[in-house]
Amino acid sequence: MIRFDDKVAVVTGAGAGLGRAYALLLAERGAKVVVNDLGGSTRGDGSSTNAADTVVEEIKKKGGIAAADYNSVVDGDKIIKTALENFGKVDIVINNAGILRDKTFSRISDSDWDLVHNVHVRGAFKVTQAAWENFRKQKYGRVVFTASNAGLLGNFGQANYSAAKMALVGLCNTLAIEGAKYNIHSNVIVPTAASRLTENILPPDFFEQLKPELIAPVVTWLCHEDCEENGSIIESAAGWASKQIIVRGKGSVLRRSLADPVSIEDVREKWDKVVNVEKIDYLGSIQEETANLTKYFSEMDGSLDEADEENDFSDKY
Ligand code: NAI
């Protein structure tokens, strides 16, 4: 059985929805859990101790160990302090707290933009950074960031939220690289779940099937010491999960030789090839990306006639 005995987990926004499900499952499997929740509205107004307290009580009733924390994630150091004061260390951070301020782009105010970015991006930065030195010293840490298909694919009326969610993908990508040698793994979860954030958005029949408890085992596995995953985007909903990847088309060389310039007409002429994604490259790292680019130099050099097809992943993905 997969256990989390002797592990301390911080789950932000754990007073409801997905975070609550993560906190309950981690505690059931032996982790000591900091249940963080500001207890405000879906728009980020107000605060209350009820949300965190209710989940802590639920955990304790089932024989688990938990402590409540009522700070906003923007005060990440205070949340990690709650973990250190109550349990002496921190091993796992699940950045889950979130709010919405949906508006079409032209109607987004500065405060709609800033608050959404503060909670999702600055919050995840502050909580994770406050835990990071502890992770490095103990050579162990697991971090989960929460993105959204609204960020990966876009969604009408969610420009502020989409931008914030995509920022977390970039943050995770770099932390996965910086943390690797310290056994700190960072991954992104892209959930779709029934919660107060989605109750008026998702169709009722669909909503019924999207229990947060069906995603919790995926996120919890990402936090386990046996899980080697690092730097991945994992999408999950309704008892299904899959890795999402970023790919690049084969593209087109835009000039005949390395000595030639590129004209706008060259771009127009080659445009169909530039945007053709029938064949793709999967670029797992920035090194692969750079190495892949250099082969196009050979093409411009005249030493290669056609783009090298060896790295074609079209059939694989
Ligand atoms: P939820 O509203 O049920 O839970 C979010 C919790 O975060 C709430 O309890 C709220 O009080 C807390 N919170 C908000 N601001 C906070 C702050 N500044 N500090 C501490 N806690 C704060 O929503 P849900 O659906 O469980 O969302 C969890 C995460 O998953 C969010 O980041 C959301 O954007 C993301 N997400 C959810 C999807 C879904 O289908 N439910 C889809 C994609 C992403």
Q: Locate 149 and state its tokens.
A: 């298909």
> Which residues, in sequence order, are CB contacts of 284 under 8 Å at separation 6+?
none
Ligand 1 contacts CB of residue 192 (under 6 A): yes
Model confidence over 214-226: pLDDT tens digits? 999 999 999 999 9
List, for the chain, all residue ranges whose pLDDT scores fall below the cut of 70: 302-317
Residue 18 alpha carbon, nearest atom of ligand 1: 26
Model confidence over 43-78: pLDDT tens digits? 999 999 999 999 999 999 999 999 999 999 999 999
Ligand 1 contacts CB of residue 37 (under 6 A): yes
**136 Cα–ligand 1 center, Å:** 28
Residue 237 alpha carbon, nearest atom of ligand 1: 40
- Rg of the chain on CA atoms, in Å: 22
Angstrom distance (rounded) from CA 105 to CA 102: 9
CA atoms within 13 A on the CB side of 182: 20
**251 Cα–ligand 1 center, Å:** 39
ipTM of the complex: 0.99
Q: What is the pLDDT of residue 302?
A: 67
Strand 247-249 with 280-282, pairing = antiparallel
Residues that are catalytic: 161
Q: What is the pLDDT of residue 157?
A: 97
Top mutation candidate among 11, 41, 82, 99 for ligand 1, by most atoms within 8 Å of CB: 99
